[in-house]
Amino acid sequence: VGPSLTQFGVAGALADPTLELRNGDGTLVQNNDNWNDTENKTELVATGLQPGNDLESAVFASLPAGAYTAIVAGKNGTAGVGLVEVYRLP
């Protein structure tokens, strides 16, 4: 999450965040720039947890147990504040 943080008073929020999901050995599992363009958009929308701003990044992944890393960055090297949220769905 980036741009929508401003509505909660967060200064310097990322205007256009990118998101990478990597497994325990660093292999890229999924990445996203704008959530509306994610390959799993249908599944993401079905959860009701999709971001309200089209510039937010999000992925939907069914993962085996293990270690994972989420990496948030600003598009084109921009800097700012971002937030990662992880949900375990039934």
Helix, strand, coil share of the chain (percent; to 5): 20, 25, 55
Amino acid at 81: V
In a domain, 68, yes or no: yes
In a domain, 88, yes or no: no
pLDDT of residue 73: 97
If we measure between CA atoms, which residue out of 41, 39, 62, 37 comes closest to residue 50?
A: 41
> CA-CA distance, 58 to 86, in Å (whole number)?
10
> CA-CA distance, 72 to 82, in Å (whole number)?
7
In a domain, 11, yes or no: yes
> Can you give the pLDDT of all 90 residues of the chain as single tens digits?
999 999 999 999 999 999 999 999 999 999 999 999 988 999 999 999 999 999 999 999 999 999 999 999 999 999 999 999 999 998
Domain span at 72: 3-76
In a domain, 57, yes or no: yes
pLDDT of residue 5: 96
Q: How many domains does the chain have?
A: 1
In a domain, 43, yes or no: yes
pLDDT of residue 90: 84
pLDDT of residue 74: 96
In a domain, 69, yes or no: yes
